[in-house]
Amino acid sequence: MMKTKKGFMLRSVAGRHVVVAIGQASVDFNGLITLNDTGAYIWERLAKGTTYEDLLKDMLSDYEVDEETAKSGIDAFLKTARDAELLDEN
């Protein structure tokens, strides 16, 4: 199961999707993360908690994209999120 860490919220600001740190997380993380529509889609699912398989299934259902492209996009997003230490995984 993958889930976004507590203290990070997705917000829409002036038509853009941004992730901001709130509470204690804002002490360690200064700034904003800007996401495109697909990134916001992935973030929303991660915020609720999901598995890689369910995320892939949702992407294939909701977007007109082949499996290889969906996996590539998910993998790139997850790598960035992991590198920024924004995920809890168990």
Percent of the chain at pLDDT exceeding 90: 77
Helix, strand or coil, per DSSP, at residue 61? helix
* CATH number of this structure's domain 2-89: 1.10.10
CB 37 within 8 A of CB 85: no
Q: Is the dihedral of CA 66, 17, 55, 62 positive or negative?
A: negative
User: In whole angstroms, how large is the CA radius of gyration of the chain?
Assistant: 13
Query: Where do the structural domains in the chain lie, given as residue ranges?
Result: 2-89
Q: Which position has the higher pLDDT, 30 or 82?
A: 82
Q: What is the pLDDT of residue 30?
A: 73
Q: What is the pLDDT of residue 37?
A: 93
Q: Is 54 helix (H, G, I), strand (E, B) or coil?
A: helix
